[in-house]
């Protein structure tokens, strides 16, 4: 995770490391030079009307042996039960904070909240702090920037005081698109500060191949989902926090 | 272009995915390797219609019914809340659950891909599938995959699954990497979000986690 210090944005660093130029390094470089590359995502020409009913389908796994299942239909039902249980677990699980003892203080939710507000104030940005999730390391907070995030992202050039808040740790900011209840899109910015030594402890193989990097990407997606659940779209009241 | 750096970062990640697969492509396989085949009897269940089940496994049926109630309650509680889950869009037939799964299963068999089709998940778009690959066969998976025309546009990536007994297994997760697929996947109400690359990256992770949640551990130990 050591290279994660190089940049201000990322899906918790290891994405950038593993991808050779990933989010953190990409932003660090991309902010400093004329931008030449982007993902080729074709424009949606017309807003497609959602179909009346889109079947949500889960497909079966193969019956493994006569001893394991009474019939193919039972195996099919078992798959469906597995699917249902997986969805319930995903929606209701709580995850223990896995930060090791040396991370205490870094990961304290109250301390994190104060630190983030100090960071925003130090940089003079009007981003509003919304809900925080400390169910896993590091704490992350959803922030609404209302258009002034570019300066925040530009880092030390725009905000020299930022270094005094983050210190040797890495600041990570990820834009997360959510679908609001009324169908509109909204963007929350997931902000976290991660101690690289802690991340290395939690993901010790982060620099030794593909699998741990994927774990960190999965971590980023989980955290984004947790923040989205408590996010307040324009005109709404937040329920999480 | 304010968010172009983030897009670049995401692009680098996706490029890394592809590069890892290419770099991991093994030497040409020996002809004597026994190739497990994907199932030919794969079928899909419409989640909205749980009644089409037989009566000879009542405990599983009852458990599924109870779970349905719990899931309905969870969804009711979160209905209308902001979410990163996007509704399944209107997609071409080949991207719909049944045809997508059939295509994958058929291609695995036709190309003798050394993998067993464990489960697919079309709860969100795009569909994702999880394959089991015996460790001795993992080295030749990349080359066999690349050489299979029926798998064009599909990428397979390894994800470590943590099993209840503390052990870990590797699930090989299959998803499309086509730009048009992810443009559909990340759109909200018919429009692309301001950061489609990052949205695609997080969406990929969300789909991967979804399908691996149904991974069955210790299959060979039973």
Residue A207 belongs to a domain: yes
Nearby residues of B67 by Cβ (< 8 Å), 6 or more positions away? A81, A84, A85, A88
C-beta atoms of A218 and B205 within 8 A: yes
Measured in angstroms, the CA of A202 and the nearest CA of chain B are apart by: 14
The total number of structural domains in chain A stands at: 1
Residue A201 belongs to a domain: yes
Q: Is B61 helix (H, G, I), strand (E, B) or coil?
A: helix
Each residue's pLDDT tens digit in chain A (241 positions)? Answer: 222 232 333 434 433 333 333 333 333 323 222 222 222 333 233 223 333 334 456 665 554 444 444 556 676 777 778 878 888 877 776 554 455 555 555 567 778 888 888 888 887 777 788 888 887 888 899 998 876 666 666 655 667 777 777 777 778 888 999 999 888 899 999 988 888 777 777 776 655 555 557 778 888 998 998 899 889 998 876 654 3
Please count the residues of chain B. Answer: 222
Q: In chain B, which residues have their Cβ closer than 8 Å to the Cβ of A77?
A: 53, 57, 60-61, 64
pLDDT at residue number A24? 32
C-beta atoms of A18 and B210 within 8 A: no
Using alpha carbons only, how large is chain A's radius of gyration in Å? 21
Cα separation of B185 and B86, whole Å?
Answer: 7
Which range (A150-154, B135-139, B204-208) has the least confidence? Answer: A150-154
Which residue, chain included where needed, has tokens 């719990």?
Answer: B70
Structure tokens at B17: 């995915």
Q: Which of residues A7 and B172 earns the better pLDDT score? A: B172
**Strand A128-133, strand A140-144: pairing:** antiparallel
Measured in angstroms, the CA of B152 and the nearest CA of chain A are apart by: 18
Residue ranges per structural domain of chain B: 4-26+38-43+84-212
pTM, to two decimals: 0.73
C-beta atoms of A214 and B158 within 8 A: yes
Which residue, chain included where needed, has tokens 């989640």?
Answer: B47
Residue A165 CA neighbour count, 13 Å, CB half: 22
Which residues span the domain enclosing A17? 2-34+111-228
Cα A191–Cα A192–Cα A195 angle in degrees, nearest 5: 160
CB A106 within 8 A of CB A144: no
Identify the band that residue B146 occupies on the pLDDT scale cut at 50, 70 and 90: very high
Backbone angles phi, psi at A107, to 5 degrees: -95, 5
Structure tokens at A186: 């909204």
C-beta atoms of B90 and A51 within 8 A: yes
Average pLDDT over residues B183-212: 90
Q: Measuring CA to CA, which residue among A2, A68, A140, A30 is closest to residue B202?
A: A140
Cα separation of B99 and B77, whole Å?
Answer: 33
Q: How far apart are the first and last CA of chain A?
A: 28
Identify the band that residue B46 occupies on the pLDDT scale cut at 50, 70 and 90: low
pLDDT at residue number A100? 53
Q: Which residue of B has its CA nearest to A223?
A: B202
Query: In angstroms, what CA-CA distances link A143 with A65, A192, B192?
Result: 51, 10, 21
Query: In angstroms, what CA-CA distances link B140 with A146, A212, B34, B115, B143?
Result: 49, 22, 12, 10, 6
A66 inside 8 A of chain B by CB: no
């Amino acid at each position: 995770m050591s290279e994660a210090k190089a940049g201000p944005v990322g899906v918790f660093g290891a994405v950038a490391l593993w991808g050779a130029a990933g989010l953190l390094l990409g932003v660090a470089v991309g902010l400093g030079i004329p931008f030449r590359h982007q993902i080729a995502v074709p424009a949606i020409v017309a807003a497609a009307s959602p179909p009346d009913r889109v079947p949500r389908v889960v497909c079966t796994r193969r019956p493994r042996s006569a001893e394991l299942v009474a019939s193919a239909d039972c195996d099919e039902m078992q798959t469906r039960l597995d699917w249902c249980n997986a969805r319930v677990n995903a929606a209701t699980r709580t995850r223990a904070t896995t930060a090791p003892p040396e991370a205490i203080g870094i990961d304290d939710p109250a301390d994190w909240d104060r630190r983030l507000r100090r960071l925003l104030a130090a940089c003079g940005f009007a981003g509003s702090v919304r809900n925080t999730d400390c169910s896993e390391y590091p704490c992350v907070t959803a922030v609404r920037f209302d258009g002034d995030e570019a300066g925040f992202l530009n880092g030390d050039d725009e905000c020299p005081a930022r270094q005094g808040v983050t210190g040797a740790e890495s600041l990570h900011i990820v834009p997360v698109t959510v679908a609001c209840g009324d169908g509109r899109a909204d963007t929350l910015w997931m902000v976290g500060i991660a101690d690289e030594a802690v991340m290395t402890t939690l993901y010790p193989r982060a620099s030794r191949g593909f699998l741990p990097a994927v774990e960190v990407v999965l971590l980023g997606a989980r955290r984004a989902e947790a923040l989205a659940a408590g996010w307040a779209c324009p005109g709404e009241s937040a329920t999480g926090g | 272009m304010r968010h172009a750096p983030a897009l670049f970062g995401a692009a680098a990640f996706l490029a890394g995915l592809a590069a890892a697969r290419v770099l991991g492509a093994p030497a040409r396989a020996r002809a004597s390797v026994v190739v497990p085949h994907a199932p030919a009897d794969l079928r899909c269940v419409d989640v909205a219609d749980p009644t089409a089940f037989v009566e000879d496994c009542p405990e599983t049926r009852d458990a599924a019914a109870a779970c349905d109630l719990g899931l309905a309650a969870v969804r009711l509680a979160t209905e209308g809340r902001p979410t990163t889950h996007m509704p399944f869009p209107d997609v071409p037939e080949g991207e719909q659950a049944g045809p997508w799964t059939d295509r994958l299963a058929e291609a695995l068999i036709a190309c003798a891909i050394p993998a067993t089709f464990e489960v697919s998940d079309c709860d969100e778009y795009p569909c994702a599938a999880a394959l089991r690959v015996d460790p001795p066969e993992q080295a030749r998976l990349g080359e066999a995959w690349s050489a299979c025309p029926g798998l064009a546009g599909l990428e397979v990536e390894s994800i470590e699954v943590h099993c209840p007994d503390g052990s870990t297994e590797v699930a090989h997760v299959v998803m499309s990497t086509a730009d048009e697929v992810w443009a559909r996947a990340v759109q909200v109400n018919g429009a692309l979000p301001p950061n489609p690359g990052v949205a695609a990256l997080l969406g990929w992770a969300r789909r991967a986690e979804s399908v691996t949640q149904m991974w069955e551990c210790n299959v060979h130990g039973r």
